[in-house]
Amino acid sequence: MRHREQLALAAGLLGLFAAPAYAQADDGAVRGMLRQCAPIADIAARVACYDAIPAGEPEATTAPVAALRPTDLGIDQVPMSRAPEADESAAIESKVIAAVEREPGIHLLTPETGEQWLFIQGAPRSYTPPTNGSTVKIRTAPLGGFLLRYQGQPAVRVRRVR
């Protein structure tokens, strides 16, 4: 290692011990520390320099770590929001005026509202597809996209094509 890189490594290691003093460092100071580490050519020395930069105080979690169940792993990283309210605009219920099977398990439905909805996942053989005159309910899915429900069967992912 070159002399400059050795100094940067030593400064980075010393920074580890001084990290609590910098725990309240503002963004400008952190950016300055990042700029000092960036030109270091030796990867290990540069990483050590970056690792020595304080990350600040972690945000409080909603539950103590000891109280978390295995299924709650990583829950502290998920932004918590209030429960969604029932919003009628997030779902439509309409009669089907045209139903076409494009390929096995993939159907194109036209409700009386005029849009066209295409199954984006193949329905299983046990699924009874909607037919002309059937009433379907289309709602937004929890992680994006749309779900179609028909006669109490499992929801099918759909997308609007028109």
pTM of the model: 0.46
The domain tally of the chain equals: 2
User: Residue 50 has what pLDDT?
Assistant: 79
Mean pLDDT of 10-18: 56
Q: Where is pLDDT greater, at 53 or 60?
A: 53
**CB-based contact 112:97 (threshold 8 Å):** yes
Residue 18 domain boundaries:
3-58
143 located within any domain: yes
79 located within any domain: no
User: Residue 88 has what pLDDT?
Assistant: 44
Mean pLDDT of 62-68: 51
Gap between the Cα atoms of 60 and 56, Å rounded? 12
Per-residue pLDDT band for 10 (boundaries 50, 70, 90) equals low
Is there a single domain that holds both residue 113 and residue 155? yes
Gap between the Cα atoms of 12 and 8, Å rounded? 6
68 located within any domain: no
